[in-house]
Amino acid sequence: MPVSTKPSFWWRHAVIYQIYPRSFADANGDGIGDLPGIATHLPYLVKLGVDAIWLSPCFRSPQIDAGYDVSDYRDIDPIFGTRADFEHLISEAHGAGLRVIADLVPNHTSDQHPWFQQALLSPPGSPERARYIFRDGKGKHGELPPNNWKSVFGGIAWTKEPERAGSASRQWYLHLFDSRQPDLNWDNPEVRAEFEDILRFWLDRGVDGFRIDVAHGLIKGKGLPDFQVRATMVGDHDDKTPSDAPMWDREGIHDIYRSWRSILNTYPDERMLVAEAWVKPQERLARYVRSDEMHQAFNFDYLLTLWNAQAYRDVIDTSIQAMNAVGAPATWVMSNHDTVRHVTCLGLSIPGTRPPGIGENDEQPDEELGLRRARAAIFMTLGLPGSVTLYQGEELGLPEHTTMEARFRQDPAFFRTEGKEIGRDGCRIPFPWKADAPALGFNTTGKTWLPQPKSYKRYAVDQEEKNSDSTLALYRQLLKIRKERGLGDGALQWHESVENVLDFENGSVRVVINFGTEEVPLPQGTIMASSLDLDQTKILPGNSAVWLENVD
């Protein structure tokens, strides 16, 4: 990055593009995307107009949860390349003016991590075990789990350790996710010191920031009390009440982020932390981004909002207020690698609902209607002040793979719920670059770790690049205007509007979105961009949006 001594606060307005490395571009042809593949496609991202890339984890891992099960935090998994490839990618990205955000997974390690392997070989009460959460079982012979917690991926959150030579007793260990992802014990100073060192390790190698996985889960309630409900990430609580789940959003968590922030502050060039914290209400989430903690947090309330004008207005107001109160930027996100792609959700009978995956036997979306709404939605998202995260492929209007056969599935959530939850594979499909190439240009061998649906051909980059009305062309246009007009650093002001319509201005741009089906009159102003071909009419059709030159 160009070195400057004046802070730019880039993270307050940045558009961050999430790359799912397994599925972006595969340079070595083994069917799984890799770092050299990403490096080749940086010009595409520059042309798109984003400011930063966030890479889902590419650290050494048995890949039980697609890299969210790390066995060596200081090395790159060979399926993605080498550490030299990672460093090359950082330097190429910086050369192209893009920042790079790595994905840090501190709540749990892989069961193959040397620490966990040592723990299994060490007796109860040993320092090796104290890095994780081992407990004796309940029941006469310890045959019952220590409490009733459920795993986010389904089933119970405890596994009895395997038999150990020379020991009659077997303890249980906690895993909020898969049994091969044991939770670390963050009350142990050794764990804290290790992660501080890992942060420094990658900061020294030039990463511009970290997305913190399961940021709300590190500290567990004292005594690990029973909790009635399944520990879903979203929790059991409503919008207004903080969760009382003993595994989420505990007070002590904030000390960890304060110490991390103080480490980042010693580095030049404004490194940043972004929280993946499924915490409600927004005031609780804001506690993660107080001025001495992280820089920003994903706004999952926004991601989960149904297709409804009032619901969006409420979530936008609440988010901006809560973040303003702590001096943090609001953020906006509509899709990621854990949720059904928003374009698909917007084509369901209750538009915007997020089922835990969609399979052949589930309701299938109206693809055209979903795309029409998603194109309108991006006018709202990119029109808002703050930072935006895009998920790879949304700029193509790429839908979820909703008819994948069960035999291809890989998500541990599918297996742990015995198929009751379809899981997240459908949003992680290899990227279509070229309509008429093997694997749609994802590689040259035609191999893919998940199958690509037939429809992806028409969304391929080379097709959309030829078409000035494509979703890709639209994203490029809006991102350009957003940057030129400084919308990320702007301020929002609502205009009163008819039912089902949102109308706001942000500096020189006026944003109007019609969530209904009936056409509505447009306010005055030249159309700068529109989700449908409108040709300066004075009417805004249903499920469409415009940016107008603000004449006020």
| Cα–Cα distance, 84 to 35 (Å, whole number) | 10
| Cα–Cα distance, 296 to 300 (Å, whole number) | 12
Beta strands in 293-407 (DSSP E): 296-297, 331-333, 387-391
In the complex, what is the shortest distance from the CB of residue 195 to ligand BGC, in angstroms, rounded to a whole number? 15
Q: For 466-511, give the DSSP string.
A: T-TTSHHHHHHHHHHHHHHTTGGG--EEE----TTEEEEEETTEEE
**Which residue ranges make up the site for ligand BGC (CB under 6 A)?**
65, 68, 105, 177, 213-214, 276, 337-338
What are the phi and psi torsion angles at 172 (to 5°)? Answer: -110, 150
In the complex, what is the shortest distance from the CB of residue 412 to ligand BGC, in angstroms, rounded to a whole number? 8
In the complex, what is the shortest distance from the CB of residue 68 to ligand BGC, in angstroms, rounded to a whole number? 3
Of 154 and 351, the one with the shorter C-beta distance to ligand BGC is 154
- Grouping H, G, I as helix, E, B as strand and the rest as coil, residue 39 is helix
In the complex, what is the shortest distance from the CB of residue 337 to ligand BGC, in angstroms, rounded to a whole number? 6
| Cα–Cα distance, 222 to 197 (Å, whole number) | 27
Of 105 and 315, the one with the shorter C-beta distance to ligand BGC is 105
The β-bridge relationship of strands 387-391 and 492-494 is: unpaired
Q: Token pair for residue 522? A: 């447009």
Unique residue bearing structure tokens 């469409």? 544
Of 26 and 338, the one with the shorter C-beta distance to ligand BGC is 338
Q: Token pair for residue 189? A: 């100073």
Of 233 and 473, the one with the shorter C-beta distance to ligand BGC is 233
The H or E element spanning position 46 is helix 42-48
Question: How does 108-147 read in b/e, with b if 16+ C-beta sit within 10 Å?
Answer: bbbbbbebbeebbebeeeeebbbbbbbbebeeeebeebbb
- Grouping H, G, I as helix, E, B as strand and the rest as coil, residue 449 is coil
What are the phi and psi torsion angles at 31 (to 5°)? Answer: 100, -10
Sign of the alpha-carbon torsion through 404, 406, 409, 415: positive
What are the phi and psi torsion angles at 221 (to 5°)? Answer: -60, 140
Amino acid of residue 130: A
Instruction: Output Rg (C-alpha) for the chain, integer angstroms.
Output: 23
Of 100 and 218, the one with the shorter C-beta distance to ligand BGC is 218
Of 335 and 500, the one with the shorter C-beta distance to ligand BGC is 335
Of 202 and 298, the one with the shorter C-beta distance to ligand BGC is 298
Sign of the alpha-carbon torsion through 318, 394, 499, 493: positive
User: What is the Cα 441 distance to its own chain's centre?
Assistant: 25
Of 233 and 326, the one with the shorter C-beta distance to ligand BGC is 233
Question: How does 458-489 read in b/e, with b if 16+ C-beta sit within 10 Å?
Answer: ebbbebbeeeeebbbebbbbbbebbbebebbe
Of 128 and 276, the one with the shorter C-beta distance to ligand BGC is 276
- Grouping H, G, I as helix, E, B as strand and the rest as coil, residue 115 is helix
Cis peptide before 281 (omega within 30 of 0): yes
> Quick one: angle between helices 189-204 and 253-264, nearest 10?
30
In the complex, what is the shortest distance from the CB of residue 107 to ligand BGC, in angstroms, rounded to a whole number? 7
Report the residue closest to ligand BGC, judged by CB: 68
In the complex, what is the shortest distance from the CB of residue 440 to ligand BGC, in angstroms, rounded to a whole number? 24
Query: Catalytic site residues?
Result: 213, 276
Q: Token pair for residue 23? A: 């599925």
